[in-house]
Amino acid sequence: MSGLIGKKIGMTSIFDENGKNIPCTVIEAGPCVVTQVRTEETDGYNAVQIGFDDKTEKHATKAELGHAKKAGTSVKRKVVEFQGYDEEYKLGDAITVEHFIEGEFVDVSGTSKGKGFQGVVKRHGFAGVGQATHGQHNRLRAPGSIGAASYPARVFKGMKMAGRMGGETVKVQNLRVLKVVPEKNLLVVKGAVPGHKNAYVIIQK
């Protein structure tokens, strides 16, 4: 799927034509620069690699500097490959937020906020103990049994337990594009997208 790289600005809400208040996320989408064009002949598949957000040369590796020089652009912080563009792009071309149109649906993926070490109630939605009486003692948010003793005498892999939560790649699908602001490179989509403010997100058609 074709798309763009963006940066999550934050959340707000807008009113539609019926006066309904809609929560939405504002994303700075592009402009992204084409840093590499992959073809069937040279790479075995067709794709367009794009970069977003300038990186200082001081913090770039020699490989990154050479790669950017070939495309005639500055080194980029975030580089992603996309397939399925309708247009033909060549090195150095810019893809702007006008790649999207109001009313269409997009998928947005990013890294979710890290929550640290969490228990099973927060991490997996366990209910905890239903009653806090009849001799119940300090087990309100405990996970309960994690397996039998004599057989299988072990804990199965994938058992839902307490642990680190968040910091994973999450994709939210079918978010409607409410507004496109080309002069400020802004994209407004309905609902929430993963990540903290200023986090990089990938928007796919």
Quick one: 76 and 58 in the same domain? yes
Quick one: 27 and 107 in the same domain? yes
Quick one: 23 and 110 in the same domain? yes
Quick one: 21 and 64 in the same domain? yes
Rounded Cα gap, residues 58 and 156, in angstroms: 49
Please choose, from the candidates 91, 77, 86, 98, the residue with its C-alpha nearest in 3D space to the C-alpha of residue 203. 98
Rounded Cα gap, residues 128 and 149, in angstroms: 22
Q: How many domains does the chain have?
A: 2
Rounded Cα gap, residues 89 and 99, in angstroms: 13
| 152 φ, ψ (degrees, to nearest 5) | -85, 5
| 80 φ, ψ (degrees, to nearest 5) | -140, 145
Task: Write out the residue range of the structural domain in which residue 40 sits.
Answer: 3-116+169-204
User: pTM for this structure?
Assistant: 0.85
Quick one: 11 and 103 in the same domain? yes
Quick one: 98 and 124 in the same domain? no
Please report the pLDDT score of residue 140 as a whole number: 85
Rounded Cα gap, residues 26 and 23, in angstroms: 10
Quick one: 109 and 122 in the same domain? no
Quick one: 181 and 80 in the same domain? yes
Quick one: 13 and 71 in the same domain? yes
Please report the pLDDT score of residue 77 as a whole number: 93
User: Would you write out the chain's pLDDT as a tens digit for each of its 205 residues?
Assistant: 789 999 999 999 999 889 999 999 999 997 999 999 999 999 999 999 999 989 998 999 999 999 999 888 899 999 999 998 888 888 888 999 999 999 999 999 999 999 999 999 999 999 877 677 777 777 888 898 899 999 999 999 999 999 999 999 999 999 999 999 999 999 999 999 999 999 999 999 8
Quick one: 105 and 136 in the same domain? no
Please choose, from the candidates 30, 32, 12, the residue with its C-alpha nearest in 3D space to the C-alpha of residue 22. 12
